[in-house]
């Protein structure tokens, strides 16, 4: 059974002016997301700047989010690392903290072989009881989790049940769908490819745009799942300019800027990420306004 069907927001981690985590604001945006109708929340992923959090902060963010969500929707916690030992540690602690599932990015920088990836993900899965979502994003990690590797893991490791596919390779994703059959679930990791991935068997979107438009993202995906393909397609195409603006600089720089423009006050980024180039900021503001989102 899928962890969720529909839209899961890859939530930002709000910061105070001094770059400490703003837990009060975290609880506030969680409420906004749930009221917006999202089907799940992903905490401490790429959009949540997990790579700049200390281990203590990482676990506290997961624990505080789990308490705020209170099982109203599934909470997927990002606990991946380029070190197997660290990934196991974070995963065990996230399970204790109340996560419902785990997001496991492929080890970055190391560029493990497919054999090494199988060993890594299996070690994490063996350390916990929670369902695990693989996260394939070779543009950031430098290595692709091949379709055959994904299928092997979903067929042979009981709690590896899904993948967040952000490779951008629709042909490869179609192959994954064919290989895994009913043994796993595919989620789009790219907002601009949501309907395309749904068309080859995907069950949902782990989304950045839903940070600013949760109800829209939910309706776009769920319309497709309910059979209204034309409506979903129109919504996907209508959102493309805003999606492009949200990725005109590396995520989560633009989405945090957008939320601040909207008055959500999620604060600054942690270094080495920094504020947007003024020209890109102007482009993002225009895209928000054209989409019908009020900016302050």
Find the helix or strand (DSSP H, E) in which 150 lies: helix 147-156
Q: What gap in Å lies between CA 21 and CA 25, rounded to an integer?
A: 9
- CA-closest candidate to residue 258, choices 296, 232, 227: 296
- CA-closest candidate to residue 194, choices 207, 183, 185, 182: 207
The catalytically annotated residue of 135, 152, 187, 216 is 135
Annotation marks residue 109 as catalytic = no
Judged by DSSP in three states, 248 sits in coil
Annotation marks residue 25 as catalytic = no
The catalytically annotated residue of 25, 152, 164, 216 is 164
Cβ-proximal residues to 237 (8 Å cutoff; 6+ apart), any chain: none
Strand partners, 75: 41
Q: What gap in Å lies between CA 197 and CA 282, rounded to an integer?
A: 31
- CA-closest candidate to residue 102, choices 71, 72, 123, 125: 125
Q: What gap in Å lies between CA 61 and CA 97, rounded to an integer?
A: 9
Q: Is 288 exposed, middle or buried (0-12, 13-18, 19+ CB in 10 A)?
A: buried
Catalytic positions, please? 135, 164
């Amino acid at each position: 059974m899928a962890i969720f069907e529909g839209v899961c927001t890859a939530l930002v981690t709000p910061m105070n002016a001094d770059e400490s985590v703003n837990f009060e604001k975290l609880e506030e945006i969680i409420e906004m997301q749930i009221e917006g109708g999202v089907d799940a929340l992903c905490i401490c992923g790429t959009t949540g700047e997990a790579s700049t959090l200390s281990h203590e902060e990482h676990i506290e963010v997961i624990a505080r989010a789990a308490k705020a969500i209170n099982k109203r929707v599934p909470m997927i916690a990002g606990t991946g690392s380029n070190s197997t030992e660290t990934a196991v540690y974070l995963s065990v602690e996230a399970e204790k903290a109340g996560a419902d599932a785990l997001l496991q990015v492929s080890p970055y920088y190391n560029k493990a072989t497919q054999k090494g990836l199988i060993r890594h993900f299996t070690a994490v899965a063996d350390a916990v009881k929670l369902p695990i979502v693989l996260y394939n994003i070779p543009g950031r990690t430098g290595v692709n989790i091949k379709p055959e590797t994904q299928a092997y893991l979903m067929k042979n490791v009981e709690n590896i049940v899904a993948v967040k596919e952000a490779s951008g390779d629709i042909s490869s994703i179609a192959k994954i769908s064919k290989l895994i059959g009913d043994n796993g679930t595919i989620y789009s990791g790219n907002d601009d490819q949501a309907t395309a991935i749904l068309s080859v068997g995907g069950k949902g979107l782990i989304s950045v745009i839903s940070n600013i438009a949760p109800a829209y993202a939910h309706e776009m995906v769920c319309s497709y799942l309910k059979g209204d393909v034309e409506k979903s397609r129109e919504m996907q195409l209508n959102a493309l300019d805003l999606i492009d603006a949200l990725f005109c600089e590396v995520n989560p720089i633009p989405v945090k800027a957008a939320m601040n423009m909207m008055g959500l006050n999620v604060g600054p980024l942690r270094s080495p990420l920094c504020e947007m180039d003024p020209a890109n900021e102007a482009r993002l503001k225009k895209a928000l306004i054209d989409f019908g989102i009020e900016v302050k």
